[in-house]
Amino acid sequence: MKVFRSPDNPIIKPEDVKPSGDDFEVIGVFNAGVTRFKEEVLLLLRVAERPISRHPDIVQTAVFDIDKGQLVIKEFSKDDPEIDFSDPRLIITPGGTYLTSISHLRLARSKDGISFEIEDRPAIAPENDYETFGLEDPRISLINGRYYINYVGVGRFGVTTCLASTKDFRTFERHGVIFCPDNKDVVIFPEKIEGKYYALHRPVSPLFGKQEIWISESPDLFCWGNHRCLMGPRPGFWDELKIGASAVPFRIEQGWLEVYHGVDQNNRYCLGAILLDSKEPRKVISRTQSPIFEPEADYEINGFFGNVVFSCGLLYEDKKLKIYYGAADTVICYAELSLEETIEILNL
Ligand code: MAN
């Protein structure tokens, strides 16, 4: 599979983004929702920040304090034997788990899809009990002229998926939690199919089951039911450990094309594709055997969490998949795949 990577990659880096407050630094800008709005490409960036370190032996992070209505700083000693820092994303303490950074969503606009102007202030930031550890991985679905944004809310209840919407990307209306904990990697199909809205999502069972892609339906985008498992990881494959939906599905002649992500035993994140039936998206018609896109460039292999290509959105234009993706949980990059080749490896 031929992948065209923009020679300007990474197109957005942490140093391009203004921190949301004094004494904070941006350590990652990645996993952006994407849409076209008027003449521009809009990205809703996930911006990960942490307090600027005051001592090398102390790990600091921030959480949103509901009562104070602001971020408060938490400190942990690197020497504390009871704390597990082995995953760079997590601080696991006997008293509970924290994230090493807190994310919010920020708008970026571009005329050419490559050079972006990034707003100075967050578009959507932690605000309630479901978001105290941050907002992550937005996806944007344009439905009947309104832009629906679903994002991961991380808080003391776990990992939920919340919904917001906007008409103008200036004001955002929140619609609350649409999938209970733990559930992420939600993508909402951009139109009703045979009278129903559909979403792919990824619930997690702590006891049984694997991290698999589920499909559900809704009359109104807010109440979701008729949940069923769509497909799971494949032992021995690049997507053996866990899978989740990535980009919002789009219609092609043969059905719905979905670009999803899969993870192997070494925590390497790649993208693959599936084709779902155009009238009954619960039917998987085809699934790529090998990844359509894998971490190979230096900025995909090395970073905050290396060996990751992770997409939350693409533009399907000119028979191309124009993919915006987070590389190594650090930067935003751009790549193009041809629809023709994608269809070929789906054996359609
Ligand atoms: C999680 C995702 C992303 C992130 C990857 C890799 O599963 O939700 O936030 O890019 O892990 O760390």
Alpha-carbon gap, residue 272 to 261, rounded angstroms = 6
| pLDDT 10s digits, 107-132 | 999 999 999 999 999 999 999 999 99
> Per-residue pLDDT tens for 149-189?
999 999 989 999 999 999 999 999 999 999 999 999 999 99
pLDDT above 90 as % of the chain:
97
DSSP 11: S
Could you identify the residue written with the tokens 């939600």? 186
- Cα(294) to ligand 1 centroid in Å equals 15
pTM of the model: 0.97
User: What mean pLDDT is predicted for residues 305-315?
Assistant: 98
Domains and CATH numbers, the chain: 4-345 (2.115.10.20)
Contact 314, 247 (CB under 8 A): yes
Ligand 1 atom at shortest distance from the alpha carbon of 152: 8
Percent composition of the chain: helix, strand, coil (DSSP 3-state, to 5) = 5, 55, 40
Q: Whose CA is nearest to atom 4 of ligand 1?
A: 329
Question: What's the pLDDT score for residue 54?
Answer: 84
Task: List, for residues 44-85, the tens digit of each pLDDT value.
Answer: 999 999 999 889 999 999 999 999 999 999 999 999 999 999
Q: How many residues does the chain have?
A: 348
What's the gap in Å between 310 CA and the centre of ligand 1?
7
pLDDT tens column, 261-273: 999 999 999 999 9
Q: What is the whole-number distance in angstroms between the Cα of residue 11 and the centre of ligand 1?
A: 19
Q: Which residues form ligand 1's pocket by a CB distance below 6 Å?
A: 31, 89, 136-137, 184, 269, 305, 308, 310, 326, 329
Is pLDDT of 254 > 90? yes
Q: What's the pLDDT score for residue 53?
A: 87
How close is the Cα of 130 to the center of ligand 1, in Å?
Answer: 18
pLDDT band at 209 (very low <50, low <70, confident <90, very high): confident
